[in-house]
Amino acid sequence: MKRFTLYLLMAFTVVLLCACSNDTTPDEESNEESNKESKGNSVSNVPVKIPDDLFVSNKKNENISEDEMKASIKKYMDYSHVIDKEMETIVYKYEDASESDRKKLNKLMDEGKQNDANFNDFLNNNTIPDDYKEPSKTIYEFVSSIRETLTQFDEEIVGAVENGSLTDISDFASEHFSKANGRQQLKIEKFLDEKKIKTTYFDE
């Protein structure tokens, strides 16, 4: 459960980061940038490494074996974990985040969205083993819902924060976490254990 709780915290921290950045005037932002650059522990100094193991598959209308299905799930989830950990290095220090940090964060979110889209296409375009159909859909919905929360905050949440509408924020959270919650995480972990799929996704 720790992993899911962390995602919740990360998502709303990013929301607040963006909301606060929108309230900053150009002069203030310039001064803040200057101050941040002078700090030795600035988040800007944290390298963002994105490995070349994005989930990719060009297969269509093929029968996917169980071994390939296991490998695909592992690759998809492991890469998602890498992206999320890199995002955390920025989000944890959001008070010191610079404009370049936010650009890095956006790049990471784009990579995560592409990873999600590729895996979803793989599931929809091929015939996978029956006992993997529902669990694979649950895995995709869980991971992509976390990602969607982070990537849509600029359009949907920031306005609610600026307007002070707690109801809108609550509705947003309910919508996007309906598929990514502790109960779903338990289902996924049980399935992974049964199929002996080793992934780092739920590691801290």
Cα separation, 193 vs 22, in Å, equals 44
pLDDT of residue 1: 43
Q: Looking up tokens 């956006």, which residue turns up?
A: 106
pLDDT of residue 79: 93
Please compute Rg for the chain using Cα positions: 18
> Residue 79: what residue type?
Y
Cα separation, 150 vs 16, in Å, equals 11
Cα separation, 117 vs 130, in Å, equals 21
Per-residue pLDDT of the chain in tens (204 residues, 90 and over written 9): 455 555 555 555 555 555 555 444 444 444 444 444 444 444 344 444 555 678 999 999 999 999 999 999 999 999 998 888 887 777 666 557 677 877 888 888 888 889 999 999 999 999 999 999 999 999 999 998 877 776 665 455 555 555 655 555 556 556 656 667 778 889 999 999 999 999 999 886
Inter-residue contact 53 to 83 (CB < 8 Å)? no
Cα separation, 157 vs 82, in Å, equals 25
Query: What is the end-to-end Cα distance of the chain in Å, rounded?
Result: 10
Cα separation, 179 vs 27, in Å, equals 41
Cα separation, 108 vs 86, in Å, equals 8
Inter-residue contact 90 to 43 (CB < 8 Å)? yes
Alpha helices in 92-126 (DSSP H): 99-125
Q: What are 28's two structure tokens?
A: 């203030």
pLDDT of residue 98: 76
pLDDT of residue 105: 80
pLDDT of residue 156: 55
Cα separation, 124 vs 114, in Å, equals 15
182's CB contacts (< 8 A; 6+ apart) are 1, 4
- DSSP, res 46: S
Cα separation, 97 vs 79, in Å, equals 24
Helix 66-91 and helix 99-125, axial crossing angle in degrees, nearest 10: 170
pLDDT of residue 30: 45
